Amino acid sequence: MSGMTLTFRGDAGMAVDMSALLPERLAGLTAGEVAGLPLPCGGGVATVGGMFEVSAGDAAEGLLIRPGQAVLHRVGAGMASGRILVEGDAGNHAGAGMSGGLLRIAGNAGDALGGALPGLPLGMRGGLIGVGGSAGDRAAERMRRGIVVVDGPVGAYAAGFMVAGTLAAGDGCGPHPGFGMRRGTLLLGRAQDEAPEGFADGGTRDWLFLHLLRRALEGSGSWFERMGTTRAHRFIGDLAEGGHGEILAVA
Binding residues vs another protein (CB under 8 A)? 145, 147, 164, 166, 183, 185, 205-209, 211-216, 244, 246
Angle, CA of 150, 152 and 153, to the nearest 5°: 95
- Minimum separation from the CB atom of position 75 to another protein (A): 22
Q: Which DSSP letter does residue 195 get?
A: P
Backbone angles phi, psi at 19, to 5 degrees: -65, -20
Q: Give the residue with the Cβ less far from another protein, 122 or 147.
A: 147
The least distance separating another protein from the CB of residue 72, rounded to whole angstroms, comes to 27
> Rounded distance, CA 124 to CA 109, Å?
15
Q: Which is nearer to another protein, 39 or 213 (CB)?
A: 213
Nearer residue to another protein within complex by CB, 73 or 233: 233
Query: CB 153 → another protein: shortest distance, Å?
Result: 24
What 3-state DSSP class applies to 54?
Answer: strand
- Cβ distance to another protein smaller for residue 25 or 183: 183
Q: How far is the CB of 128 from another protein (least distance, A)?
A: 8
Cβ atoms within 10 Å, residue 50 = 14
Return left, alpha or beta for 21; rule: phi > 0 is left, psi -120 to 50 is alpha, else beta: beta
Tell me the closest approach of the beta carbon of residue 215 to another protein, in angstroms: 6
Residue 196 DSSP code: P
Q: Which residue, 71 or 187, is less far from another protein as judged by CB? A: 187
Dihedral of CA atoms 80, 41, 167, 193 in degrees, nearest 10, equals 180
Distance CA 220, CA 12 (A): 30
* Rounded distance between C-alpha atoms, residue 244 and residue 92, angstroms: 28
Smallest distance, another protein to C-beta of residue 173, A: 20
Residue whose CB is less far from another protein, 12 or 215: 215
> Minimum CB separation from another protein for residue 134, in Å?
24
Question: Based on CB atoms, which residue is closest to another protein, 238 or 246?
Answer: 246
Strand (E) positions, 116-184?
125-131, 145-150, 166-169
Instruction: Evaluate whether 115 touches 141 at the Cβ level (below 8 Å).
Output: yes
Distance CA 36, CA 4 (A): 15
